[in-house]
Amino acid sequence: NLTFTKGRKFTPASISRFHELLENQNWLTLNSATTFDDAFTVFYNTFVSHFNSSFPETKILKRNTSYVKKGWVNSTVKKLSQDLKNFYHLQKMYPALKKLYLTHKCKYRQYIMNCKKSFYGNLIKSSDNKNKTVWSLISILNNNEKSHKNITLKNSETIIDDPQTIANTFNENFINGPQNIQRSIKRNIYSTSNFESNMTIRESMCALPFSETELLNCLKKSIKNKHSSGPDDIPNSLLRSSLHIIIKPVTHLVNMSFSNGVFPKELKLSTVHPVHKRVALEIARITDQFLLARRCQKSLNTPC
C-alpha cells in the first residue's frame, strides 16, 4: 500500500516564481512602520505568503521502506529459499542428507549476503549524497523512525509543552539570569585604590548601521546552503538564494532591531530533535553496519 505525507516540492519553476514575487513586492508598508514588531510582522507575513503561494503543501509519496528492506529479494532468492525449505524436510526424513543440507544452507546464506551487498551498494553508489544515504539505510534497517513531537520543559513544578511558551521561558532566563547573578554579588568587596580616580566607565555603546553589502556578505557566510528548515518549513538553501532580492528590507529590519533593542519573537522558535543516548552495544552494532555499507560502496562483490 502506498503511503503519503505532507510536503512541499521545490522545483526550478516554483523557485523562479518565488523570486519573481519577491522582486515585484513593494516594501513601502514595512519602511513606514513606526515600531520594529510592526515592521517585522509585515516582512514575515509577506515572505511566508509568497512562500506558501509558490510552494503549497501537497501529498508526497512517503519513502518506501519495504523496498529498501526487501529490494534485494529477486526470483532466484525466492527459488533458492523454497528449495532450501524442501531440502530441510527431506533431510528430516533421511538424516544422511543433513551434511549436504548444511552445505546448501551455507551457500544460500552466502548468496543472500552477496545480493544484499550488491543492492545496498548500488543504492549508495547511485546516490548524490552518499553519507546521507548510508545513515538513512542504517535508520531504516534498524526500524528507527523520526519523531517530530514537540519537546517539553519542566519549569519548577510546571510542565510546559507549548513551543512559544518554551521559547519565552528560555528567553526570560537568558535575560534575567545575568541580572540575578549581578544582584547576588556583594558590593564593595574590591578595593578601588588600584583604579585611576579620573577613569570613566561607559554605560552605552554605539554601533554603526549595517550597509546592504556588508550584511549580504555576513548572511552568505552564516546561512548554510542546506535543505534543513525551521517550524515555518522555509529551507536555508531557498533563503540563501533569495538574499540578493530581500537584502534591502532585511537591512532595514536589522538596523531597526539594533536601534530599538528588540529581537523578533518569531525567530526565537526552532525545531529540536532530541537524540537519546544508546547503550554501547547498540552503538557498536550500528557502527558495524555503517562500516559494512562503506565497504560495499568501495568494492562490491559479484552482483546477483
Q: What is the pLDDT of residue 227?
A: 81
pLDDT band at 294 (very low <50, low <70, confident <90, very high): low
With cut-offs at 50, 70 and 90, classify the pLDDT of residue 238.
Answer: very high
Q: How far apart are CA 81 and CA 155, in angstroms?
A: 57
d(CA 84, CA 91): 10
Highest-confidence segment of 8-12, 146-150, 198-202: 8-12
> Is 136 within the bounds of a domain?
yes
- Contact status, residue 72 vs residue 116, Cβ threshold 8 Å: yes
**Alpha-carbon distances of 133 from 67, 122, 128, 150, 172, rounded to whole Å:** 14, 11, 9, 26, 40
Residue 44, pLDDT score: 92
- Burial tier of 160 (Cβ tally within 10 Å: 0-12, 13-18, 19+): middle
190 within domain boundaries: no
Whether residue 203 lies inside any domain: the answer is no
Residues 80 and 55 in one domain: no
- State the residue for C-alpha cell 523512525: 145
Average pLDDT of span 192-218 = 71
Domain boundary among 89, 121, 142: 142
Model confidence at 200, in pLDDT bands (50, 70, 90)?
low
| 94 plus 127 within the same structural domain | yes
What total of structural domains would you count in the chain? 3
In the structure, what pLDDT confidence band is assigned to residue 241 with cuts at 50, 70 and 90?
A: very high
Same-domain status, 38 and 94:
no
Position with higher pLDDT, 276 vs 208: 208
Q: What percent of the chain has pLDDT over 90?
A: 22
Query: Which residues, at least 6 apart from 105, have a Cβ–Cβ distance to it below 8 Å?
Result: 84
Query: How far is Cα 22 from Cα 94, in angstroms, rounded to an integer?
Result: 79
210 within some domain: no
Burial class (CB in 10 A: 0-12, 13-18, 19+), 124: buried
| Domain presence at residue 235 | yes
Domain final residue, candidates 87, 120, 142: 142
pLDDT exceeds cutoff 90 at 43: yes
Residue 263 is predicted with a pLDDT of 82
Distance CA 72, CA 120 (A): 8
Whole-number pLDDT of residue 130 = 79
Q: How far apart are the C-alpha atoms of 120 and 218, rounded to whole Å?
A: 41
**In a domain? residue 229:** yes
In a domain, 147, yes or no: no
Domain of residue 175: give its range.
153-183
Q: Which range among 2-6, 97-101, 263-267 has the greatest average pLDDT?
A: 97-101
Give a yes or no: residue 256 inside a domain: yes
Averaged pLDDT, 122-148: 74
Residues 24 and 52 in one domain: yes
**To the nearest whole percent, how much of the chain has pLDDT over 70?**
74
Average pLDDT along the chain:
78
Indicate if 56 and 82 belong to the same structural domain: no
Sign of the four-CA dihedral 118, 123, 128, 132:
negative
- What tens digit of pLDDT does each residue of 61-114 get? 566 666 667 888 888 888 889 888 888 888 888 888 888 889 989 999 999 989
